[in-house]
Amino acid sequence: MKVLVVGGGGREHALCWKLHHSESVSEVICAPGNPGIAQHARCIAVGAENIEGLMRLARDEQPRLVVIGPEVALVKGLGNQLRAEGFAVFGPDDAAAELEGSKSFSKKLMDEAGVPTAKFETHTDADQAEALIRQWGAPIVVKASGLAAGKGVIVAQTVKEAVHAARDMLSGNAFGDAGSQVVIEEFLEGEEASCLFLVSGDTIIPLASSQDHKALLDGDLGPNTGGMGAYSPAPCVTPAIEQEVLETIARPIIAALKARGAEFIGTLYAGIMLTDDGIKTLEFNVRFGDPECQPLMSRLKSDLGEVLLAAAEKRLDGVELEWDQRKALCVAVVSTGYPANFEKGQVISGLDAVEAAGAMVFHAGTAKKDGAIVNAGGRVLGITILADSVKEAQIAVYKALGKLDWKGGFYRKDIGYRAVQREEA
């Protein structure tokens, strides 16, 4: 079958790569794609936010399945429009995508559904937000309610920092319209993990566990980013914890959406915190995580095309996923200056040598200029490797990264450190 993938980042590269190697798939088209994706798919320059352009493309190409990668296209209702014209779509409608599109909506729905989460309040007035922050004290979490490309969360260590963050968001300086409403949450202490599920109506199938590193610097220090690396499986997510997340978080939130008339078909991503007070939900996303998708696709042995089509056609019940028992680890290489300002257009060399060292190079923010690969975004590459242990994967991926020739590139040197500590213990 022909599959259309919407998006052009590292997540979409991983999906296109896996679909390209699926026996059920004859051709992969990607809009807009990137130079790395072009190795596995026919790329067509239609942006993920260009809903009208994507609809025209779908009508022209008539894919058997459309897989929507980015949250923006989902929130804008691309899934609704495609389904209305009879296409099989993997990705929720806009009503269900509001779970990610509005943190305020998401928190209220968690409350309504009895899903365990941090204490919170939502504010649009800067003075009222400041009063709450001073009342609760620090550390405290301030979130822009709307979409902010994974960067709209400030874990403030002081009241002063939190007040500045809230006022900056509400003034429109920090994240534009995404920050017109802020969610203020109590700070949760513990270990964070990502639990993803394939959802098709009432059928919910867990994907392998994963854990990402959102902080920019080693030791989980510095500002939050869209993700500096990830690995799978996450040793902290035991089978018992996976079952508890399914029963107390995934099922109730999907049921709450259904009660509101929003049927979910796609990937539910639950970011969780393992605290001394039990499992708490940090956030929901309505698509594959990035960079979690890269290690997950590296480990998935099942035919991705068949699985996603079954979900889109509400035939997911009874589908069993097969996983490579090895560990997968992905390190994000970002443009120096990310997540703030950074220079674009720098030539990146050595990618063939990185792959020759056994790593898979997933492109995120790259472009072609005068025949060379250049950086075109903040997160640029996801260097991913499989090994028998996280420690071995960690050693191998950093050895491969030593072959990369890009002076403007930056990456953390400790991705997977928690899992390595567990293995060594």
DSSP strand pairing (2-7 vs 65-68): parallel
Contact 386, 326 (CB under 8 A): yes
- Which run of H or of E encompasses 83? helix 78-84
Would you list the domain boundaries of the chain? 2-91, 125-180, 189-312, 327-424
Pick from 308, 212, 204, 207: nearest CA to 263: 204
Contact 180, 143 (CB under 8 A): no
DSSP strand pairing (221-224 vs 215-217): antiparallel
Residue 153: predicted pLDDT:
86
- Which run of H or of E encompasses 51? helix 51-61
CATH for 2-91 is: 3.40.50.20
Q: Which fold has domain 125-180?
A: Dna Ligase; domain 1 (3.30.1490)
Residue 146: predicted pLDDT:
78
The secondary structure of 369-419, three-state, reads: ECCEEEECCCEEEEEEEEECCHHHHHHHHHHHHCCCECCCEECCCCCCHHH
Class assignment of domain 189-312?
Answer: alpha beta
Q: Which fold has domain 327-424?
A: Glycinamide Ribonucleotide Synthetase; Chain A, domain 4 (3.90.600)
Q: What is the pLDDT along the chain (425 residues), one digit of tens a residue?
A: 999 999 999 999 999 999 999 999 999 999 999 999 999 999 999 999 999 999 999 999 999 999 999 999 999 999 999 999 999 999 999 999 999 998 889 999 999 999 999 998 889 888 898 898 999 988 998 988 877 666 678 888 999 998 998 888 888 766 677 667 888 999 999 999 999 999 999 999 999 999 999 999 999 999 889 899 999 999 999 999 999 999 999 999 999 999 999 989 999 999 999 999 999 999 999 999 999 999 999 999 999 999 999 999 999 999 999 999 999 999 999 999 999 999 999 999 999 999 999 999 999 999 999 999 999 999 999 999 999 999 999 999 999 999 999 999 999 999 999 999 999 98
Residue 145: predicted pLDDT:
81
- Beta carbons within 10 angstroms of residue 389's beta carbon: 16
The pTM is what? 0.93
Tokens of 92: 């929720």
